[in-house]
Amino acid sequence: MTTMPRVNKAIKLAAWSSLAALIVACVPQEPADLIVANAAIYTLNPDRPWAEAIAIRDGRIVALGSTMEIRARFTGTERDALGAMVLPGFHDAHAHPIDAGVDLSRCDLSAAEAVEQILATVADCDARDPGDGWLLGHGWSLGLFAEGNPHKSLLDGIAANRPILLAGADGHSSWANSFAIALAGIDADTQDPPLGVIERDADGSPSGTLRETAQGLLWSLVPEPGTPELEAALRRAVGILNSVGVTSLIEANADTRDLDAYTNLAAASDLNVRVVASIGNAVFDELPAQALERLASINPSYLRAGSVKIFLDGVLEGETAALLEPYSGARGGGRGRLSLSAEALARRVTELDAAGIQVHVHAIGDWAVQAALDAFAAARRVNGARDNRHHIAHLQLVDPGDYARFTALDVTANFQPVWAFPDDYIVNINLPQVGPARVERMYPIGSLARAGARIVAGSDWNVTTPNPLVAIETALTRQDPSGRRTAVLNAEEAVDLDTMLRAYTVNGAWLMRQEQATGMLAPGMRADFVILDKNLFEIPASEIGEARVLATFLDGVAVFEAEAGG
């Protein structure tokens, strides 16, 4: 008697399966280029947040639904996701792909966790590439050195008879040996260039570290990569971005050579990512009209300009970030500085806003953030509210009184979430510079989200990892995603998973003016999506950075496939 209900249930299930099969056989099916079935699809579409299957034709999504529904309606190549998670392709709202690609061919110091490891790596690079030419590298951590100021003598001990020049991980500092400094003619009598700092020994001679524009005294001597090298660098970088699920990005600071590389790859249908190029402020004014015309004529769904980048201040590590209250470190007393006066900035932003140009501002310090918001407010008073989608990137310190202004002025908050934990920079350099109260206000993602600001996210790669999953984990935990440190940076600024997924998808798409085409998974949208090996909603936040991208699709075509078992 106890087995009868089970038998009846089995009979009913078999009957329903037969009926479904009969319906599938009788109903004409539509063609699809690709069906992804048996997936946990988080669409970011409020009308249908979750689905099991997706059908794609001609690069666009034609339907989402249950696996049974999609199989009944469509026929085509099927990919069984085996329960894997599917998300819209990630949008990196602030990256430097060409610089990152170039760095891949140079001495990589980003993994070094001690000064001794840095020096050993430089020595290995010198041994692998001997001679008297430039030894170039990148990625050394300022937090490993007192005041972020490594000395030239450390590099002299590796190679005294060739120039060594190493870009810091922050992108605002460079470290050189004595040979390189002498080659550039820098000595105790050399004046700091405008907005630059030559770090010095007690006698005034250069110590080996240069900040901001002073870096150009050395880098201007390095032979520039040619167009073929830049194109190769961009291809390498895009491949890495695809491997971490990135399908769209904002190039954070393009010059004319960068634009040529992007344009050439787009013209060859070899740009496997959608790009909006933010053009450097000074470059924009000098850019020949035909360069923009050529860029605009290629494929606007893959490459567009229309954005200008303004560096408004520097970084805390060199005390070049602009602060409302003075630094409290060893140098003490100063507040940093703005690259433009408040009046000049307001004029420039108003001019660009009137021309329909998006403004992309680098602002680390709270004075710089406030000045940027003041400039956007000035533009609004003159031009009225316009749909130019301005944004401020980095936002390490924001005055609490300015949180609500992001919403009021419709200015997007562009965070690099992977910085939001107490790393060597914050603990060893920033804490003595600005004190614990300001450190606890750093990267206020939660506060700005609660104030109603639109949050987007970027990597600032080549400064830090381009992996959005590592950044998402950090934003949720405010802890070191590598697990090496257990301290938390102001847990009140943590946000939830949905906030960060929106930052990397729908909000990023809106900022790039492609919200009608990408950013969510819905019928009619372009089939840009990523398949992950784990459902992010079903694992602890501390494991999100370990999730793996299995495949990345752009217009329904796989641009990355993970190796089996990799």
Strand order in the sheet with 164-168: 107-108, 135-140, 164-168, 173-176, 206-212, 196-200
Q: What is the pLDDT of residue 62?
A: 98
Nearest to 316 by CA among 447, 199, 148: 148
The closest of 95, 88, 91, 89 to 459, measured between CA atoms, is 95
Domain for residue 485, yes or no? yes
> What would the pLDDT profile of 176-227 be if each residue is shown by its tens digit?
999 999 999 999 999 999 888 999 999 999 999 999 899 999 999 999 899 9
Give phi and psi for 105, each to the nearest 5.
Answer: -100, 5
Q: What is the pLDDT of residue 565?
A: 65
Would you state the structure tokens that stand for residue 558, as one six-digit string? 């796989």
Cα(352)–Cα(412) distance, integer angstroms: 17
Q: Residue 22's pLDDT is what? A: 53
Q: What is the CATH number of the domain that holds 467?
A: 3.20.20.140
Q: For residue 48, tell me if it sits in a domain.
A: no
Q: What per-residue confidence (pLDDT) applies to 23?
A: 53
**Residue 112 falls within a domain, yes or no?**
no
Q: How many domains does the chain have?
A: 1
- In sequence order, the 6+-apart residues with CB closer than 8 A to the CB of 108 are 121, 137, 138, 139
Q: Residues of the chain whose pLDDT is less than 70?
A: 1-27, 329-333, 565-566
Q: Is residue 174 part of a domain?
A: no
Listed as own residue / partner, the contacts of 297-303 with beta carbons closer than 8 Å and 24 or more positions apart are 298/263, 298/266, 298/267, 299/266, 299/269, 301/274, 301/514, 301/517, 301/526, 302/266, 302/271, 302/273, 302/274, 302/275, 303/262, 303/263, 303/266, 303/271, 303/274, 303/275, 303/277
Residue 437 within a domain: yes
Determine the pLDDT at residue 33: 98
Angle at 466 between CA 464 and CA 470, to 5 degrees: 85
Q: Is residue 15 part of a domain?
A: no
Cα separations (Å) of 142 from 175, 191, 254, 307, 318? 10, 23, 25, 31, 9
319 found inside a domain? yes
Determine, yes or no, domain membership for 390. yes
Beta strands in 130-220 (DSSP E): 135-140, 164-168, 173-176, 196-200, 206-212
Domain encompassing residue 357 = 306-495
Distance CA 407, CA 448 (A): 9
